[in-house]
Amino acid sequence: MSAEPAPRRAPRVTRTRTHFVPLTVAALSTSVAYVVLAFQAHVTPYFPVDVAITHYVQAHELVWLNPFIGALNALGFPPVVDIVYGAVIAVMFFTGRRWESGGVVVSAVGASGFSWLTKWLVARPRPPADLVHVQHQVPNPAFPAGHVAAFTAFCGFLCYLAWLRLDGSWRRTTLIVFLLACMLLMGLSRIQAGEHWASDVLGGYLLGVAWLSATAILYEKRVLARETG
């Protein structure tokens, strides 16, 4: 007599219904902060603290981090960003995580779209080479840091999915810590390159968090609400 197959483990959705309030608070609070900072960036080319932070970061360069920071800088430009993001999304889609891959697309593309819209509305100039060291002259406006906004939304939504869908283990913790570290280093890399002010980077984080929170709310309403009945 053959043994009965072990029952399939249900997805981790036990805390799903408690997420709407904190996600909504996160989306609204970061959106308001983003709008306020965007207005300030529109009327102020840079803040004194921006110059001080860039001087400090560029004066205390960590040589051993340079290869990783350089890779993060490259990740924000085509075709590298298209290849890396596309590969992650494709793997998720073709391994049966289609709603999740769609959520990653919405999170990253939405943050990138709002970033470009804000850039042209705010029209803040890039850091000038006579104030800080600038690695590359980038022609588009500075606020917000588009690398940071898209990367925060992309990696942030992956963190959200890992926390929600994976069982608690050192692997899940390691993955989330790694993604969070990458997000923080992305901001540092944009300041070190002299291509953004710290306030541009802050704007990128605010936009990224706001949009990934909104995407997570949509995901829970569309997918998890049905799973939990």
Identify the pLDDT of residue 14. 41
Per domain, the residue ranges of the chain are: 17-227
Q: What are the residues whose beta carbons fall under 8 Å from the beta carbon of 215, sequence distance 6 or more?
A: 103, 106, 107, 110, 153, 157
* pTM greater than 0.75 (yes/no): yes
Identify the pLDDT of residue 24. 94
Per-residue confidence in pLDDT tens, the chain, 229 aa: 445 554 444 444 444 445 888 999 999 999 999 999 999 999 999 999 999 999 999 998 777 788 888 888 888 788 888 899 999 999 999 999 999 999 999 999 999 999 999 999 999 999 999 999 998 888 899 999 999 999 999 999 999 999 988 888 899 999 999 999 999 999 999 999 999 999 999 999 999 999 999 999 999 888 766 666 5
Identify the pLDDT of residue 215. 96
For 131-195, the DSSP string reads TS--SS---S--SS-HHHHHHHHHHHHHHHHHHHHSPSSHHHHHHHHHHHHHHHHHHHHHHHTTS
